[in-house]
């Protein structure tokens, strides 16, 4: 049975303002998804072409990485016009067509807003750097040098080196937390906030359903530009920047995470509230305080709806103990907040390779993700089991990888094109040479092959998503605390009278666990769920889950 041919579009609920709570969101990196005009770069009409496939997965929404006008120094995360589409990706009419068709298929559309910085080619920055007294002179973070000519403070860029760049026109430094060509906006200026909120409203009027907010905790910098203190070696980790990057040597208490951000997020949320059923997802980039910030930014009803931190995007394998630890911390600092979990995205090594997971483990992790409290982001190709691609140095496009090669190979390995067809030279993604080479390891995992195999990982993802959406306790319900015993992580999800016991053996050896008291009935057989034994003992095989509903009295 072809899941796409047999697709019956689901209807979007105009009254469910909380659709995002427990939603499954599919991230599209447009350059690598589908090309419609043979230039080797994916585009909006390519996304339009593949929307039936996305809808067939059963996801609630798509998140499209930036497609705005850009010089593409950071592949769209350097915006030169927030209110237009880069010709590489198409036109505003193409975007409108994507939204209309997605909605017809029952899929909501979220877009990636990059508000913390612009491209140095944005007309705002062109005007700002022209003089110290023009109308936009204070729209970016400018500062005089220290008496010896050095930068104003010790802040570092995530992409390496100082976060300050000297500008000869103004004889001042400007702040760039990322590339030199990505100057940081000055959120302390109310006019800047107003302009960005106008951008937000522009896209809401084009019927987007929400925003993924890039680097949400970088919006404000310390107004006094105080230097960051050093970070002790024992506290350093590479969740945000690779270990070879000196960025890890500082505690970034002044260059980001400023308290003024909360007031701006309240203004942002007020606009979203004018458009029912819209949502916001913040990316929290902080290795030490990610969950704390998540708690601050998602508490109550006047900030962003949800955030994701980097706990499940870390290099270290996600063990049962680590999952329990993360949720315990979440319960402590974000009890009233809402998390969104991701194992892979466009910035980190794909989790199949990062954690060296065999096929059975990929299935289990997918099932577990669909049972955790919170919302879910899936990254294109994750449902196919893509490993990290090995991109040769001469094929690299990512400036981050080029800077730190070979110790860190950058982000190109997770950004290579999708593979759709088994017979096409370019796997159906383009009729031209693709902007990054197609990984040979991905050809055997293409969509066409997996559609034909009822036992494939792709079909498993469909079953896991459908299982989640069939049980309200898994989408919007609570949990009784995430615990672990050995390699098993377990918890009970509840919503009304529906209670589900969930346990996952995160190892390649059999394991056992005592079942909680009560009459539990096996469910999720299609996901390989273990039987519940009469003696109250749960026996899990390698990489096996147990999903059991409590019998209603």
Hey, which residues does 156 pair with through a beta bridge?
A: 162
Measured distance CA(162)–CA(213) in Å, rounded: 24
Contacts 24+ apart (CB under 8 A), 146-151: none
Q: Any catalytic annotation for residue 451?
A: no
What 3-state class would DSSP assign to 184?
strand
* Look-up of token digits 């920047």: 241
> Among residues 133, 224, 234, 274, which one is catalytic?
274
Which are the contacts of 373, defined by CB distance < 8 A and separation ≥ 6? 327, 339, 477, 478, 479, 493
Name the β-bridge partners of 478: 494
* Residue appearing with tokens 């995470």: 257
Annotate 245-283 with b (16+ C-beta within 10 A) or e (fewer): bebbebebbbbbbbeebeebbeebbeebeeeebbbbbbb
Which spans in 247-377 are helix H?
Answer: 261-272, 290-298, 320-333, 351-354, 359-369
Structure tokens at 182: 């990505």
Residue that has been written with the tokens 């509230």 in this structure: 273
Between helices 44-57 and 457-469, what is the axis angle to 10°?
70
Q: Is 487 a catalytic residue?
A: no
* SS3 sequence of 505-519: ECCCCCEEEECCCCC
Q: Which of 214, 347, 388, 398 is catalytic?
A: 214
β-sheet bridge partners, residue 521: 549
Question: Token pair of 390, please?
Answer: 């090995």
Active site residues: 214, 274
């Amino acid at each position: 049975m072809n899941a796409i041919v047999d697709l019956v579009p689901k209807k979007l609920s105009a009254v469910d303002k909380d659709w995002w709570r427990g939603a499954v969101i599919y991230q599209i990196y447009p350059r690598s998804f589908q090309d419609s005009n043979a230039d080797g770069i994916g585009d909006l009409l390519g996304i339009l072409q593949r929307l039936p496939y996305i809808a067939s997965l059963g996801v609630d929404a798509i998140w499209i990485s930036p497609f705005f006008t850009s010089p593409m120094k950071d592949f769209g995360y350097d915006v030169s016009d927030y209110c237009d589409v880069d010709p590489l990706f198409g036109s505003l009419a193409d975007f409108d067509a994507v939204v209309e068709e997605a909605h017809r298929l029952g899929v909501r559309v979220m877009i990636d807003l990059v508000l913390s910085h612009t491209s140095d080619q944005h007309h705002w920055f062109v005007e700002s750097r022209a003089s110290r007294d023009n109308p936009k002179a204070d729209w970016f973070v400018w500062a005089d040098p220290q008496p010896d000519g050095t930068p104003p403070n010790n802040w570092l860029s995530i992409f390496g080196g100082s976060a300050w760049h000297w500008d000869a026109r103004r004889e001042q430094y400007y702040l760039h937390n990322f590339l030199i060509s990505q100057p940081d906006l000055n959120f302390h200026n109310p006019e800047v906030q107003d302009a960005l909120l106008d951008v937000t409203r522009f896209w809401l009027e084009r019927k987007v359903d929400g925003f993924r907010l890039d680097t949400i905790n970088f919006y404000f910098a310390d107004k006094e530009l105080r230097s960051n203190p050093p970070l002790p070696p024992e506290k350093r980790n590479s969740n945000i920047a690779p270990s070879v990057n000196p960025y890890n040597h500082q505690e970034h208490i002044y260059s980001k995470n400023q308290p003024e951000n909360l007031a701006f997020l309240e203004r942002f949320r007020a606009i979203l509230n004018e458009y029912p059923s819209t949502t916001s997802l913040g990316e929290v980039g902080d290795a030490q305080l990610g969950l704390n910030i998540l708690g601050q930014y998602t508490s109550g009803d006047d900030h962003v709806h949800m955030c994701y931190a980097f706990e499940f995007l870390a290099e270290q394998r996600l063990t049962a103990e680590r999952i329990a630890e993360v949720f315990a911390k979440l319960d402590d600092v974000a009890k009233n907040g809402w998390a969104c979990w991701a194992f892979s995205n466009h910035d980190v090594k794909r989790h199949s390779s990062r954690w060296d997971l065999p096929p059975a483990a990929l299935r289990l992790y997918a099932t577990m993700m669909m049972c955790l409290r919170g919302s879910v982001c899936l990254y294109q190709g994750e449902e196919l089991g893509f490993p990290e691609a090995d991109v040769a140095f001469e094929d690299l496009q990512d400036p981050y990888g080029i800077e730190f090669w070979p110790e860190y190979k950058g982000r190109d390995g997770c950004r290579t094109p999708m593979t759709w067809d088994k017979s096409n030279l370019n796997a159906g993604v383009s009729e031209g040479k693709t902007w990054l080479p197609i990984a040979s390891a991905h050809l055997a995992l293409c969509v066409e092959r997996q559609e034909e195999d009822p036992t494939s990982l792709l079909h498993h993802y469909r079953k896991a998503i459908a299982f989640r959406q069939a049980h309200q306790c898994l989408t919007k319900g609570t949990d009784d605390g995430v615990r672990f015993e050995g390699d098993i992580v377990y918890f009970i999800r509840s919503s009304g009278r529906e209670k589900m016991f969930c346990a996952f053996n995160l190892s390649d050896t059999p394991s056992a666990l005592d079942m909680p008291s009560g009459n539990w009935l096996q469910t999720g057989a299609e996901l390989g769920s273990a039987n519940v034994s009469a003696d109250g003992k749960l026996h899990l095989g390698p990489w096996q889950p147990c999903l059991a509903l409590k019998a209603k009295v």
